[in-house]
Amino acid sequence: MPSIVVNKYPLKRLIDEVGPVDQIAIEERVAKFTTRSIKKGSKIQGLNLAVSMVDLTTLEGKDSPGKVQSLCQKAQSPDSELNTPQVAAVCVYPAMVKHARKFLGDSPVKIASVATGFPSGQYPLRTRLQEVKQAVKDGTDEIDMVIHRGAFLSGQVQTVQDEIAAVAEACGEATLKVILEVSELETYDNIRAASFLAMNVLRSNDFIKTSTGKTSGNATLANNQVMLEAIRDFYLESGTPIAMKPAGGIKTAKQALHYLVAVKETLGDEWLNNRRYRFGASSLLNDLLMQLRKQDQGVYQAPWKFSDASSGY
Amino acid sequence: MSRIPVTKTPKAYVGGKFIRSESGRVFPLNNKRGQFLCNIPECTRKDTRNAVEVAGKAGGAWASRTSYNRGQILYRLGEMMEARAEELAQAVAITGAVTLAAARREVASTIDRVVYYSGWTDKYEQVLGNTNPVAGPFFNFSVTEPVGVIGVFASDSPSLLGLISQVLPIITSGNSVVALASSTNPYPAVLLGEMLATSDLPGGVLNILTGFRDELLETFASHEHIRGLDLSLDVDGKKQAEILAAESIKRLKVREQENTRYWSSEKAQSVYAIRSFLEFKTTWHPIGV
Amino acid sequence: MPTQRKNSRNTRRRKTPELLFGDLWEFDPAPESADPKLKESYSLYIDGQQSAPKSRKYFESINPGTEKALTRIPAAGKADVNDAFSAATNGLNKYWSKLSGKDRGKYLYRIARLLQDRAREFAVAESLDGGKPIKESRDFDIPMAAAHFFYYAGWADKLEYALPGGSYSPYGVVGQIIPWNFPLLMLAWKIAPALATGNCVVIKPAETTSITALKFAEILQEAELPPGVVNIVSGAGATGQLIVNHPAAKKIAFTGSTDVGKAIMRATAGTGKGLTLELGGKAANIVFEDAPIDQAVEGVINGIFFNQGHVCCAGSRLLIQESIAKTFVQKLKTRIASLRVGNPLDKNTDIGAINSKEQLDKINDLVKSGVKEGAELFQSSCSLPGQGWFFRPSLFDGVTQSHRIAREEIFGPVLSILTFRTVSEAIEKANNTAYGLSAGVWTDKGSKILKMSTALKAGVVWANTYNKFDPTSPFGGYKESGCGREGGKQGICDYLKVEY
């Protein structure tokens, strides 16, 4: 193809190449996941699996070492009465990484740090990369970066990809999670295109991630599905397995199970672990624990029995 | 001594051409005193087959003309008939079965009926089709489509008004027609063929055979390419036609063999006559980005 | 796409990447526990009464998921059908023709509501008797049946808007014969518009799936529908013939096979009876290279495996554009691997039991012919229950137009895959059939959809979706797929005699 055409509409060309997504049909598809009935043993297994996939998150201006300490405590021992697994990671701001490392030591619970001018990404590349390097130096295992949505939507897809590649390089051994901020990309076509854009410069078991949790739109089963299908197509084509993290808006155990059904039926067994799938969430963990205790003890639980629960009423 | 007039040889009208029967057979048309008037082609199964073939070829193009264009063409047919109204009246009255005065009234009604249907071409869809408010994020609409080639046995009486009243609603929507003219007085149909040739109706859209129901009923009813039948028939014929039509599930409308009173009334013209030879197609499309 | 960069961690490529759909996280059985409230034996419903058949004959209704008998169903004989028509004629003259449209509508509203009240019970009965997955009977069949009554209830006093300028009247008593694939839904499709337009009904459910029709009689009683307005007579083909041939039947509405439809048309020849026939299909589901591929895969799956493929409008012929055929078929195979075949009552079952042994034999026969004619068979490796009539979801690749499996209706979970290169070839292949019920089109280009929709000779065209139904949306076929429409405004018109 003549290069003048190639350069004219790079975003359209990217969408043409990875193919479109039909909104109504994919929303219909994911509605079927919600009709799966998960009972008894499979429910307990699913809830525990979900616990092990939680990136327990605190991303607030008022975060302090004390808050991070209690988060780390909860991450390592989610429930004193239940034999639940530890969560996958704690997810904090870069300045909190060194505190988290202090509290977690060499615990298997990972530290994930948002970086790259989270949540907007509207900072010079140089300082964004500097943030990544500092967080890695402070002991983070994982970096959750944001893509430059402004560049993506204005068609500068090569810039977006180059930046992701640069961040991946800055990560060194740390796992990279690329936040697409799906609510700002707006269409499923864009989400699928951005997924491929990122995956092409990611390494095995690096993540693509839906949202920052800082905009009005969060993870939904549908945008999760668009990304799972992109991961599947990319894997079958390239052999490189990419991991997935929906974030924001997943508050209940029931929702989490629906997401897991989507993983099971789209990517299969090899993605049903916390190396390949995570939930970015803060309140989800308590609901998972409530449901697990209900399964264990047979009675519905009051919220105040769970630490850091928001409701005391 | 007066001039010896040139007599006209009646012919069937198929594919825009005037034909004799492939069989070479004719039957005499006499007036009611038994005097010979002319020979009429006695069309056969093979003539029917040929007519269906040209109707099948012409139908698609006719249906894909704009509704506006179909309306103009049918209105033009009305104009042609009006200009030759007296000639048509003479033809209707030729056997003496109806008076010339009655024939003139019949021709006037016939022309009005042509104009009536010409006005429907770009409106029936708006009355019969619709969008459907389904319970979901879909744009859903039902449109009509012509059925295809339709076989017609025209009423014996009225010989011209019956034929036009049966055929016009069918071609209005883009179907094509193979019609068998009245056996008792095919002469007006023969003349109509000549007017069709000078109207802008594409050849093959309306084909007019002459001959006998008994001979052609089986072919009309069983020919799989004929997708619908509008037949003026006696009781026995109706049953036989319906049995044979079942094999290819034809759309059917059967009527009395003759019914002057009905065809002369306003009730005989209706958008529901157009509806009888329409298919409804419903399309679903998601509303999304 | 911007340059693909090979990171050092990526270079160790696996031979052929595959996905593993195993049992790492298996779903425990989740049987629907609602009580279907079945009786040991059922009665006919004639003149508002539950009555034993004068024929004294019964047959068993078998659960296709277990092959065990569920209950006894009466086989209506000549005397019973005569009684039903007498009751219907009486119901028409004495009650139904005397009611205003408004009041007819009120009865239909009652029926809709009562059906909604007992939806779960009916769903379980439907799945037990017919073999369809409970999620379909629960989420589709029963709610859609209620929706049809609700929709047509509102038409009853507004008929003049369905036929503007028309002069019309109800047929009187109509005979209705329905199939086994959507038993209660087909009953609703038939009864609701018939009653709304002022007709009375004698209806026969299919012999393998009579239970919900006979349970529906309970709802009619609860609704206090006047006696004789609806009469339900169960039985096999012989009972159906009695209905078709009964002189009091002024119209016959039939859904079923094309062969039987033709026989009905012959049987009613010369009688002046009205006809609505909803017959077989061999729909083309056409996927263009610019389609939203994963949604098309899902649509094709839904198009052929919905209700075990026991759907007259099933997308049984897949036409794929050659350029994407290989990828697309691979995606279909991957998708099939995660379909769950099993106990119809399990809430997680995607594909239930084949309705009858007879149907299973027919599917087996056609699949054998496909193999014999050289098409390439792919079947899911899923496990099947030890008991009951089940069939693995199946694909035939490399099918041509002349294969039996491309021409005959299989009415089972078997997809025939053909390819095309150009739009005109797709249209030609899609229309190359005596049927014309439905078609599917998958493309991202809007104008192409309208072009295809116009060119396809089918009564329903689904663009970028498939197997969608709605009470407001007319359904019915071109050519040998039948005549007349059910649903929507058009469904009203076909239950009225229009004078012109």
How many domains would you assign to chain C? 2
Within C24-132, strands assigned E span 44-46, 49-51, 58-63, 68-74
Note whether B281 contacts C453, CB cutoff 8 Å: yes
Within C171-226, strands assigned E span 173-177, 200-204
Q: What percent of chain A has pLDDT over 90?
A: 88
**H helices within C373-441, ranges in order?**
404-407, 423-431
The pLDDT value recorded for residue A9 is 86
Q: What percent of chain B has pLDDT over 70?
A: 100
Q: Which of C261, C262, C478 sits opposite B279 (nearest CB)?
A: C478
pLDDT (mean) for C65-73: 97
> Does residue C408 form part of some domain?
yes
List all residues of chain C from 88 to 127 with a beta carbon under 8 Å from chain B. Answer: none
B273 contacts in chain C (CB < 8 Å): 500
Q: What percent of chain C has pLDDT over 70?
A: 97
Within B211-277, strands assigned E span 226-232, 251-255
What one-character-per-residue DSSP string does A84-146 give? PPPPSEEEE-GGGHHHHHHHHTT-SSEEEEE-SSTTT--S-HHHHHHHHHHHHHTT-SEEEEE
Vertex B275, ends B272 and B277: CA angle to 5°? 130
Vertex A104, ends A98 and A107: CA angle to 5°? 135
> Does residue B1 form part of some domain?
no
Note whether A22 contacts B286, CB cutoff 8 Å: yes
> Does residue C166 form part of some domain?
yes
Q: What is the pLDDT of residues A11-42, one digit of tens each?
A: 999 999 999 999 999 999 999 999 999 998 99
A189 contacts in chain B (CB < 8 Å): 289
Note whether A201 contacts C7, CB cutoff 8 Å: yes
Give C262 to chain B, closest Cα distance, Å: 5
Average pLDDT taken over every residue of chain A: 94
Choose, from A43, A74, A177, A209, the residue flagged as catalytic: A209
Choose, from C32, C136, C207, C278, the residue flagged as catalytic: C278
Mutate to test the interface with A, among C1, C326, C443 (most CBs of A within 10 A): C1
Q: What is the CATH number of domain A8-298?
A: 3.20.20.70
Cβ–Cβ under 8 Å, residues C178 and C187: yes
Note whether A203 contacts C9, CB cutoff 8 Å: yes
| The pLDDT of residue A200 is above 50 | yes
Nearest CA in chain B to A26: B288
| The pLDDT of residue C8 is above 80 | no
| The pLDDT of residue B156 is above 60 | yes
pLDDT (mean) for B112-138: 98
Mutate to test the interface with B, among A21, A23, A24 (most CBs of B within 10 A): A24
Question: CB atoms < 10 A from the CB of C193, how many?
Answer: 32
Q: Report ipTM (2 d.p.).
A: 0.94
pLDDT (mean) for A148-163: 96
B249 contacts in chain C (CB < 8 Å): 258, 261-262, 265, 277, 279, 479-483
C315 contacts in chain B (CB < 8 Å): none
The pLDDT value recorded for residue A302 is 86
C115 and C82, same domain (yes or no): yes
| The pLDDT of residue B129 is above 70 | yes
Cβ–Cβ under 8 Å, residues C122 and C142: yes
> Does residue B7 form part of some domain?
no
The pLDDT value recorded for residue A1 is 46
C254 contacts in chain B (CB < 8 Å): none
The answer to whether C312 is a known catalytic residue is: yes
Nearest CA in chain A to B288: A23
Note whether C474 contacts B282, CB cutoff 8 Å: yes
Note whether B282 contacts C453, CB cutoff 8 Å: no
Where do we find the tokens 């046995």? Answer: B153
> Does residue B161 form part of some domain?
yes
Cβ–Cβ under 8 Å, residues B241 and B53: no
Choose, from C200, C312, C313, C483, the residue flagged as catalytic: C312
Among the listed residues A194, A155, A199, A187, the one whose alpha carbon sits nearest the alpha carbon of residue A10: A155
CB pairs under 8 A between B and C: 124
Position with higher pLDDT, A313 vs B97:
B97
**H helices within B14-99, ranges in order?**
45-64, 67-83, 85-92
| The pLDDT of residue C14 is above 60 | no
The pLDDT value recorded for residue A307 is 77
- What SS3 state is found at C218? helix
Average pLDDT taken over every residue of chain C: 95
pLDDT (mean) for C338-366: 97
What letter does residue C141 receive in the DSSP assignment?
I
List all residues of chain A from 110 to 169 with a beta carbon under 8 Å from chain C. Answer: 157-158, 161-162, 165, 168
Rg (CA), chain A: 19
Phi, psi of A280 (to 5 degrees): -90, 110
C463 in contact with chain B, both atoms CB, cutoff 8 A:
yes
Note whether B138 contacts A24, CB cutoff 8 Å: yes
- What SS3 state is found at C321? strand
Q: What is the pLDDT of residues B73-115, one digit of tens each?
A: 999 999 999 999 999 999 999 999 999 999 999 999 999 999 9
C286 in contact with chain B, both atoms CB, cutoff 8 A:
no
pLDDT (mean) for C102-127: 98
List all residues of chain C from 453 to 492 with a beta carbon under 8 Å from chain A. Answer: 464-465
| The pLDDT of residue A180 is above 70 | yes
Note whether B286 contacts A187, CB cutoff 8 Å: no
C296 and C267, same domain (yes or no): no
For chain B, the first-to-last Cα distance in angstroms comes to: 86
| The pLDDT of residue C227 is above 90 | yes
List all residues of chain C from 251 to 280 with a beta carbon under 8 Å from chain B. Answer: 258, 261-263, 265-266, 268-270, 277, 279
C129 and C257, same domain (yes or no): yes
- What SS3 state is found at B213? helix
The pLDDT value recorded for residue C500 is 87
> Does residue C83 form part of some domain?
yes
The pLDDT value recorded for residue B1 is 66
pLDDT (mean) for A36-59: 96
Let me know if B7 is exposed, middle or buried by CB neighbors in 10 A (0-12, 13-18, 19+).
exposed
The answer to whether A233 is a known catalytic residue is: no
Q: What is the pLDDT of residues C157-195, one digit of tens each?
A: 999 999 999 999 999 999 999 999 999 999 999 999 999
Note whether B280 contacts C489, CB cutoff 8 Å: no
Among the listed residues B153, B151, B207, the one whose alpha carbon sits nearest the alpha carbon of residue B180: B153
C9 in contact with chain A, both atoms CB, cutoff 8 A:
yes
> Does residue C402 form part of some domain?
yes
Q: What is the pLDDT of residues C400-436, one digit of tens each?
A: 999 999 999 999 999 999 999 999 999 999 999 999 9
Among the listed residues A109, A84, A110, the one whose alpha carbon sits nearest the alpha carbon of residue A288: A84
Q: In CATH, what number is assigned to the domain containing residue C397? A: 3.40.309.10
Question: CB atoms < 10 A from the CB of C167, how many?
Answer: 13
Q: In degrees to the nearest 10, what's the CA dihedral of B15, B19, B23, B24?
A: 180
Q: Which of C10, C293, C338 sits opposite A240 (nearest CB)?
A: C10
C9 contacts in chain A (CB < 8 Å): 203-204
The pLDDT value recorded for residue A304 is 82
C386 and C249, same domain (yes or no): no
Say which residues have a Cβ less than 8 Å from residue A228's Cβ, sequence separation at least 6. Answer: A244, A262, A263, A266, A267
C290 in contact with chain A, both atoms CB, cutoff 8 A:
yes
The answer to whether A144 is a known catalytic residue is: yes
Q: In CATH, what number is assigned to the domain containing residue C271? A: 3.40.605.10
pLDDT (mean) for C3-22: 65
C330 contacts in chain A (CB < 8 Å): 236
C27 in contact with chain A, both atoms CB, cutoff 8 A:
yes
pLDDT (mean) for A126-145: 97
| The pLDDT of residue A129 is above 80 | yes
Phi, psi of A43 (to 5 degrees): -70, -45
Confidence of residue A306 (pLDDT cuts 50, 70, 90): confident
Mutate to test the interface with B, among C472, C481, C493, C494 (most CBs of B within 10 A): C472
Within chain A, strands assigned E span 54-57, 89-92, 110-114, 142-146, 175-179, 207-209, 243-245, 279-281
Phi, psi of B279 (to 5 degrees): -105, 150
Position with higher pLDDT, A312 vs B63:
B63
| The pLDDT of residue C12 is above 70 | no
The side-by-side arrangement of strands in the sheet containing B206-209 is B17-19, B12-14, B206-209, B176-180, B149-153, B226-232, B251-255
d(Cα C166, Cα C184) in Å, to the nearest integer? 32
d(Cα C401, Cα C433) in Å, to the nearest integer? 9
**Domain range annotation of chain A:** 8-298
The pLDDT value recorded for residue B263 is 96
> Does residue B178 form part of some domain?
yes
| The pLDDT of residue B57 is above 50 | yes
Within C64-199, strands assigned E span 68-74, 167-170, 173-177
pLDDT (mean) for B130-144: 97
Beta bridge partners of B189: none
What tokens were used for C191? Answer: 């009864």
Note whether C444 contacts A49, CB cutoff 8 Å: no
C26 contacts in chain A (CB < 8 Å): 42
Confidence of residue A308 (pLDDT cuts 50, 70, 90): low
Question: Which range of residues forms the domain containing residue B265?
Answer: 12-286
The pLDDT value recorded for residue C62 is 97
C274 and C414, same domain (yes or no): no
How many domains would you assign to chain B? 1
d(Cα C105, Cα C197) in Å, to the nearest integer? 10
Instruction: Please state whether A20 falls in left (phi above 0), alpha (psi between -120 and 50) or beta.
Output: beta
> Does residue B278 form part of some domain?
yes
Choose, from A144, A189, A206, A287, the residue flagged as catalytic: A144
Q: In degrees to the nearest 10, what's the CA dihedral of B112, B117, B119, B121?
A: -160
> Does residue C225 form part of some domain?
yes
The pLDDT value recorded for residue C6 is 46
pLDDT (mean) for C322-339: 95
pLDDT (mean) for C79-106: 98
What residue type is B67 in one-letter code?
S
Let me know if C293 is exposed, middle or buried by CB neighbors in 10 A (0-12, 13-18, 19+).
buried
d(Cα B39, Cα B17) in Å, to the nearest integer? 18
Question: Which range of residues forms the domain containing residue C312?
Answer: 284-463
A239 in contact with chain C, both atoms CB, cutoff 8 A:
yes
Nearest CA in chain B to A23: B288
Cβ–Cβ under 8 Å, residues C486 and B138: no
The subunits that touch chain C, with at least 3 C-beta pairs less than 8 Å apart, are A, B
C181 and C219, same domain (yes or no): yes
What residue type is B58 in one-letter code?
A
Q: In CATH, what number is assigned to the domain containing residue B236? A: 3.40.605.10
C167-170 and C394-397 beta bridge pairing: unpaired
d(Cα C367, Cα A55) in Å, to the nearest integer? 50
Phi, psi of A139 (to 5 degrees): 110, 15
